[in-house]
Structure 1
């Protein structure tokens, strides 16, 4: 399990364990919080293609799918 604090998500770098469309490296571009400090929006971008999509930030904790940093 990858451990990450929601406040440190912005600009964090991730490597997909099972890349699709040659998109392996990603960076978190946007994170929004509600008034209680809970993440309401997380936008991740593929470095190679620039394709962006919204994800549930908790999915980044799944070590089967994501590795923290670029490798």
Structure 2
């Protein structure tokens, strides 16, 4: 399990364990702020390095070692 602090996610690098459409390496480009400013962000935007495609995922998905690895491997 990857231990993650939401405040330190911005511009972090990740490797997807399952490659889809040549997209394996990603960078966290944005933390999607919740409606209530007292709450931590629930979603992040990740950008594929190869295709520049952007998608939103829950940041807690990055904790799953079977889906994501920290850094570029």
TM-score tier (shorter): over 0.9
Aligned length: 71
- The TM-score with structure 2 as length reference comes to 0.90
Shift of 1:32: 3.2
Alignment of 1:41-60 (within 5 A): 41-60=43-62
Residue 43 of structure 1 aligns to a residue whose secondary structure is strand
Aligned mates of 1:41, 1:6 — CA distance in 2? 10
Once superposed, which parts of structure 1, at least 4 consecutive aligned residues long, lie more than 3 Å away? none
* 1:1-71 alignment runs, 5 A limit: 1-34=1-34, 35-71=37-73
In 2, Cα distance between equivalents of 1:45 and 1:62: 18
- Aligned-CA RMSD value: 1.1
Q: What is the Cα deviation at residue 49 of structure 1?
A: 0.2
Unaligned runs of 5+ in 2: none
